[in-house]
Amino acid sequence: MKKRILIILAFILIIILLILILIYQSNKSPYDEANNINTPKMMVDSIDNSVKEPIDNLIVDELIISEPVIDELIIDELIISEPVIDEPVIAEPVIDEPVIIKSIAGPTIRLSYDEVNIQENILSSFMYFIPLISPTLVDRETSVNNNQKVSIVSYGKKISSDKFYVKCKFKITGSGFHKNVFDSSEIIRRNVGNSNKKPIKNILSYLVFNDGGFGSIEVNGKINPDGGVVNSVDVHFNEEGTSSPVSIGIYSVNPKDGEYNYENRFNETVARVNTLSFKKSEGTPLMSIKIASVYKENKEESWTDKIKGTIANLFIDPLEIDKLGNETMLNFGLAIFKQENEFIFPIAKNLKESIE
């Protein structure tokens, strides 16, 4: 009886084991079977291609047939989802601060060469070469209601085979004054090197144009293939028998405690200027000055002052001037020789109103 029961139990266990094997086999993929082939590694290379091909095909078939469910879900989600539209970004307008553009050129003057077509210019523009030639800072002062004007009223030219000479006369009309004041600290400092602790004499203080008068510009040069080269320009302020309206102020400075200061100036003098001369130069340019008289500041000019001026011309050394100013005057002379209708001055770098 017991033996029969054991046989029945054994039979039941076998059936259960077979069922489990079948279930396991049904859940196992062909890919797992291919990977679980117990063929030794050394034998794989010797397997015929006909044997390998079904395995490869089986793997490929599975890869092709298998559906990328997750990818499709992602794609569907991307397709179905509404496109994201960025809101327009409205930038606030940037308001720039006003830019003050400084002039890159000085004044333009109109040139005429006879009394019929006279072109008048403001005196401060026509005489703009004064701040241009200054090697130090210079400031300008103009009288209230100033109406000084300058115009060229006559023109003459002589040309030889290789030289030329031009003389044009100008007229200053109106009333008032226009003054160029040179920086005292800079101009004193430029003269300290040669002082040897002695007084510095004849320091230039200012140059002023008072009211009207007559003058002339003389230009000398050489003819070349480009037209001409200017060698010298002389500006006279005492034509037509009139006194020059141009004066300069000069002074001397004593050293105090080894220092030269404007406060220690003395012998303030005025000199009436007849001529300013400019020459072509390869080195440091110089300006020659001829004066009509010399007299004390705040004193009336007398005939003895004119004698002093004549004598002083024998001892006045040329003044060192700015290179750009000297070149400008030579270019101005060339424009007059060519009878240009206008002339544009470059900006005066040492003019205070230009650098402020």
pLDDT attached to residue 86: 54
pLDDT attached to residue 114: 82
Name which of 211, 253, 230, 237 is nearest 130 in CA terms.
237
- If you compute the radius of gyration of the chain from its CA atoms, what whole number of angstroms results? 51
pLDDT attached to residue 88: 52
Q: Which uninterrupted H or E stretch holds 305?
A: helix 303-312
DSSP string, 153-179: EEEEEEE-SSEEEEEEEEEEES--EEE
Query: What does the pLDDT profile of the chain (356 residues) look like in tens digits?
Result: 666 777 777 778 788 877 777 666 655 544 444 444 343 343 334 334 443 343 343 333 333 334 444 343 333 433 334 444 555 555 554 444 444 445 578 999 999 998 788 999 999 999 999 999 999 999 999 999 999 999 999 999 999 989 999 999 999 999 999 999 999 999 999 888 766 778 999 999 999 999 999 999 999 999 988 889 999 999 999 999 999 999 999 999 999 988 999 999 999 999 999 999 999 998 999 999 999 999 998 888 999 999 999 999 999 999 999 999 999 999 999 999 999 999 999 999 999 875 54
Q: In the numeric block, which tokens belong to residue 294?
A: 């010399």
pLDDT attached to residue 9: 74
**Dist. CA 136–CA 262, nearest whole Å:** 15
Instruction: Collect all residues with Cβ–Cβ distance below 8 Å to 255 and sequence separation of at least 6.
Output: 195, 197, 198, 199, 264
pLDDT attached to residue 149: 97
Check if the beta carbon of residue 346 is closer than 8 Å to that of residue 105.
Answer: yes
pLDDT attached to residue 18: 73
Q: How many CB atoms lie within 10 A of CB 340?
A: 13
pLDDT attached to residue 120: 95
pLDDT attached to residue 11: 74
